[in-house]
Every structure is written in structure tokens, then in C-alpha cells.
Amino acid sequence: MERHHPPLAITILGTGAMGRYWAYRLRSAHPLVVGTVPPPYEVFEGRTKTLLIPPYSPWQAAPPSPPDVVVLAIKWREMGQALDWLQRHAPSSIILSLMNGMGQEEALCPLTDAVLLPGTTTAAATRQDDKAPAIRIQSHGLTVLPALAHHPGVQQLMHLSQLHHWGWSWVAPQDALAQRWLKLLQNSVINPLTTLADCPNGEVLHHPIWRLAGPLLAEGEEVARRRAVLLPPDLLASVAQLAQDTQHNLSSMVQDVRAGQETEIEAINGYLIRIAELEHIPVPTHQAVRHLVRQLERHAKP
Ligand SMILES: NC(=O)c1ccc[n+]([C@@H]2O[C@H](COP(=O)([O-])OP(=O)(O)OC[C@H]3O[C@@H](n4cnc5c(N)ncnc54)[C@H](OP(=O)(O)O)[C@@H]3O)[C@@H](O)[C@H]2O)c1
């Protein structure tokens, strides 16, 4: 006989581009959205426009009921606020991180009863807040998450995501980790180099600063190897292809610097540097680009 579970209560933390994107993508599960920008949100996808009005709660308020699942859709600069919210309202929930960068395990370690599912996504959306809070979806991409199939709540979430075609691929935890490292290395090249050149992804391939791509990848691969992470061969060619495929995109780091916001450099190149220090591996190119991006952050006020 099939067992019936109560529906999972899902909360999305963050009302930026990805918070709104996940509110739209998971709308069949009626998620609550927590953040600073209240709905309605306009969602543009191709020629269609959808008005999305999910249930909403500001950061300061308690949610109507404790969530079973929380999707982290914030930037790293908001991690302290998110941790505080999670400690108050969802200390033993399932937490999905679909943020860029690494270090979620360390940042969320006070939540000893929570189940953390750090994944990656190639979904892409940009905020368009000129008239009303809005996003344009560039791509639904693919989302990869670690399958902790022994956990009943995760099992239920896996089932729900398949039933509703959310585009989530559940893989063995070591494969999800390898995906995170791959994305980390891609981001550790494209994000800071486009930021230092202040250009879209495609243009950086023709900028002299692209000469740093090889050394950045070689250093990053050495750190990953020391952590027993298997990465695909020819990373330089595939990262160049990724920059070409997304040639018109402005990386989130360029956007942050132009908006005078703190970037996610500490969770990307900074994370690699911290692991390299623990493993006694020299990563001078990552240290140099981190230093330069931090300088830009300090000087680029809108
Ligand atoms: N955008 C993408 O295509 C994409 C793709 C893959 C991964 N990611 C990753 O997903 C995470 C979230 O990124 P994101 O693109 O959602 O960042 P974002 O749009 O910059 O939003 C980040 C935070 O900015 C605040 N915010 C909302 N509207 C704002 C406005 N009009 N002006 C200034 N700030 C505003 C929100 O704060 P509150 O939380 O207080 O509401 C939001 O959580 C990051 O780790 C990013 O690297 C993004």
C-alpha cells in the first residue's frame, strides 16, 4: 500500500534573482519566500510574462509554520542573516544551497540538527527592477543535488522534484561534490577575470588578462587533487567554451562591483586559498586576483 506523507513546507531564503526564480520554478509546491523585496514579481521568459505572488515573510518575522525544506538563494554577504534566521525558525530542516562558491558546511556548522544538501545549478536569471520587482530567465539549466536517499525527508523531496519536473538531478554525494568543485574552478576564472577586465564573459577571452586563466586553473586543479576530487580533463578549453557560450552575460561579480556591492570572491577564490593554505599548496595567482578584486570592491561605490 502506498504511504501518504503530509506535503513538504518549502521556504526560499532571498528575494533576489534566484529567490524569485526558485519561487517560480517550485510554484507547484507553494513555497514561502523570505527576504526584503515583497511580491508580486514579474517573471519574463522568452515572450511570456507571469505575475508571481508567492506567500512572503520579511526576515524579521517568524514564518507561519516551521519549514521542512529551506532553499538558500542569497548572496554570501547575507549568510550571517540567513544563519540567524535558520537558527530561530528552521534549526533541523533540510537546507539546499544553490549558491555559487563553497564553504556552506563551515558557514552553517552551528546547525547541528539540519541536513545540508549543497548542490550546483546552471539556471540563470537576472533582476530587472526598473518598474517593479522582476526577473528575466535566461536558462533553466540543470541543478545537481546529493541524493541522501536514506533520509525520509530528502526521499520525499526527491520524489516531489521528479513528480513536478523541477529539473533537479539527484546524484551520489561524491559526484555532487565533484560538480561543486568544477563550478568553483569555472567561477574562479570567469568571475574575477571579467571583473578585472570589466567586460562580458565573451570579451574576456580576447583580453590580455585571459593569460591568467591557465595558471588559475592549474593551481585550482592541484588543490582539488589534494582533496581527492576527480575533475574532467582539458579544463582550460572547457572554461573558454563556457565563456564563449555565455558571451553576452555579465558575471555576477562584474554586476556586484558595478553596483558597489560586496562580491562573492571570498567564497570562490578565497575558499580555494583557504584550502590551499591547509594543504600547503602555493596559489599565488588566486591570491593576486583576490587582492585586486577586493581593491575594486573598496573603490567601486555606485
Ligand atoms: N542569478 C543567477 O543567474 C545565478 C545563477 C546561479 C547561481 N547564482 C547564485 O545564487 C545566489 C543568489 O544570487 P542572485 O543572483 O539571486 O543575487 P541577487 O539578485 O543579487 O540577490 C541577492 C540579494 O540581494 C537582495 N536584493 C533583492 N533585490 C534587490 C535589488 N533590487 N537591489 C539590491 N539588492 C537586492 C536580496 O536580499 P534579500 O535576501 O534580503 O531579499 C537578495 O537575496 C548567489 O550565490 C549566486 O552566485 C545566481
What are the cell numbers at 160? 516531489
Q: Return the ∠ at Cα 285 (arms to 281 and 286), rounded to 5°.
A: 75
Question: Contact at 8 Å (CB) between 282 and 241?
Answer: no
| Sign, CA torsion 39/115/74/79 | positive
Q: What's at 290, amino acid-wise?
A: R
What are the cell numbers at 79? 549568510
pLDDT at 7: 87
User: How far apart are the CA of 210 and the centre of ligand 1, in A?
Assistant: 27
- What secondary structure does DSSP assign to 50-91, as a single string? EEE---EEETTSPPSS--SEEEE-S-GGGHHHHHHHHHHH-T
- Specify the ligand 1 atom closest to the Cα of 127: 19
Return d(Cα 110, Cα 114) in angstroms, integer: 9
Residue by residue, pLDDT tens for the chain (302 residues) are: 455 667 899 999 999 999 999 999 999 999 999 999 999 999 999 999 999 999 999 999 999 999 999 999 999 999 999 999 999 999 999 999 999 999 999 999 999 999 999 999 999 999 999 899 999 999 999 999 999 988 999 999 999 999 999 999 999 999 999 999 999 999 999 999 999 999 999 999 999 999 999 999 999 999 999 999 999 999 999 999 999 999 999 999 999 999 999 999 999 999 999 999 999 999 999 999 999 999 999 887 66
User: How far apart are the CA of 18 and the centre of ligand 1, in A?
Assistant: 6
pLDDT at 299: 84
Phi, psi of 237 (to 5 degrees): -65, -40
Kindly give the interhelix angle for 213-226 and 269-279, rounded to the nearest 10 degrees.
50
User: How far apart are the CA of 17 and the centre of ligand 1, in A?
Assistant: 5
User: How far apart are the CA of 78 and the centre of ligand 1, in A?
Assistant: 10
Lining residues, ligand 1, CB within 6 Å: 14-19, 35-37, 73-75, 78, 99-100, 121, 123-125, 127, 129, 252, 264
Residue 178 burial by CB count (10 A; 0-12/13-18/19+): exposed, middle or buried? Answer: buried
Strand order in the sheet with 168-171: 120-121, 143-146, 168-171
pTM for the complete prediction?
Answer: 0.96
For a mutational test of ligand 1's pocket, the pick from 74, 126, 194, i.e. the residue with the most ligand atoms closer than 8 A to its C-beta, is 74
User: How far apart are the CA of 170 and the centre of ligand 1, in A?
Assistant: 24
pLDDT at 1: 46
Q: Is the peptide bond before 31 cis (omega within 30 degrees of 0)?
A: no
Residue 294: which residues within 8 A CB-CB, separation 6 or more? 265
Return d(Cα 97, Cα 269) in angstroms, integer: 18
For a mutational test of ligand 1's pocket, the pick from 252, 253, 264, i.e. the residue with the most ligand atoms closer than 8 A to its C-beta, is 252
Nearest to 31 by CA among 75, 78, 63: 63
Q: What's at 5, amino acid-wise?
A: H
User: How far apart are the CA of 16 and the centre of ligand 1, in A?
Assistant: 4
- Specify the ligand 1 atom closest to the Cα of 37: 41
User: How far apart are the CA of 280 and the centre of ligand 1, in A?
Assistant: 34
Element (DSSP H or E) covering residue 23 = helix 17-25
Return d(Cα 236, Cα 207) in angstroms, integer: 15
Domains of the chain with bracketed CATH = 10-171 (3.40.50.720), 176-299 (1.10.1040.10)
Start-to-end CA distance of the chain, whole Å, equals 61
- Specify the ligand 1 atom closest to the Cα of 126: 1
